Amino acid sequence: MYLKNLTVLGFKSFADKTSLNFQPGVTAIVGPNGCGKSNVSDAIRWVLGEQSAKALRGGEMADCIFNGTDGRKPLGMAEVSLTIGDVEEDQLTAAGVEVGFNEVTVTRRVFRDGGSEYFINKTACRLKDIQQLFMGTGVGRTSYSVMAQGNITQLLSSKPEDRRMVFEEAAGITKFKAQKKESLRKLEHTDQNLVRVEDLIREVKRQIGSLQRQAGKARRYKQIAQELQHLDTQLARHQFDVLQAEITERQNKAEELRNGN
């Protein structure tokens, strides 16, 4: 993996589109104080996902946009594109990049309203995708490959725990630790979902018990109602037979009385 090209537009002092091609070997950027040498390294850190405006020597992210001069109007957007060559296939897969070659161009844009966009090979992506692309390669906003002014002294005087992060990045295990952290987070989220599911199962079981009791009562009510209907039918039939017999008896008596007269 090597740095092939850096294209800057509207970033800090780069009002016009500026493209830097990095040739094999050592590339040095020289110039007087205040000419914008540090802005080149800031642009690299920024396109790799730097989120701290303070780390870019600014107060807010909008300070990264060209703010204008006496003879030029300020711009409303800053854009930086970084082209990397010889990217390993494993890194491309981790970032979800599907290309038939191993050259990747990462682009970042920021607008004055605070909006930002990320692209990998001109395809919109997330900051997380860019971080996964460079994780464990030594390239990144906080990796050892980009050292700002004072970082070396700070690294030498830092605590062992802080230096350990640099060694882990150099050893290429940072991405595995990040994957472990992400997996543990997903496991914790899954455990929380399981607890919630268990609560739902208990609630459903309680409701099932109540519904089963209600269903039992409904079945007994239906059975008793059928028995009551059967008994009402038998009683009505019995009353009908009694009345019918009484009517027949009285008709016979009435007939006898008429014959007797």
Q: What is the mean pLDDT of the chain?
A: 82
Is the residue at 185 inside a domain? no
- How big is the CA angle at 178 (ends 172 and 179), to the nearest 5 degrees? 100
Is the residue at 87 inside a domain? yes
CATH number at residue 108: 3.40.50.300
pLDDT in tens, 112-121: 888 889 998 8
Say if CB 94 and CB 87 are below 8 A apart.
no
Say if CB 222 and CB 230 are below 8 A apart.
no
Is the residue at 195 inside a domain? no
- Alpha-carbon distance of 110 to 11, in angstroms, equals 9
The residue that leads in pLDDT, 198 or 173, is 198
Which pLDDT score is estimated for 27? 83
The residue that leads in pLDDT, 121 or 158, is 121
**248: part of which helix (H) or strand (E)?**
helix 174-260
Is the residue at 103 inside a domain? yes
Q: Domain range spanning residue 115?
A: 2-172
- CB atoms under 10 Å from CB of 224, counted, come to 10
Which pLDDT score is estimated for 28? 85
Is the residue at 253 inside a domain? no
Local confidence band at 90 (pLDDT 50, 70, 90 cut-offs): low
Local confidence band at 189 (pLDDT 50, 70, 90 cut-offs): very high
Q: What is the total count of domains within the chain?
A: 1
Is the residue at 38 inside a domain? yes
pLDDT in tens, 21-66: 888 888 888 888 888 888 888 888 888 888 877 777 777 888 888 8
Which pLDDT score is estimated for 155? 64
Partners of 14 in the β-ladder: 11
Local confidence band at 132 (pLDDT 50, 70, 90 cut-offs): confident
Is the residue at 218 inside a domain? no
Residue 67, pLDDT > 90, answer: no
Which pLDDT score is estimated for 103? 81
Q: What is the pTM of this model?
A: 0.58
Is the residue at 55 inside a domain? yes
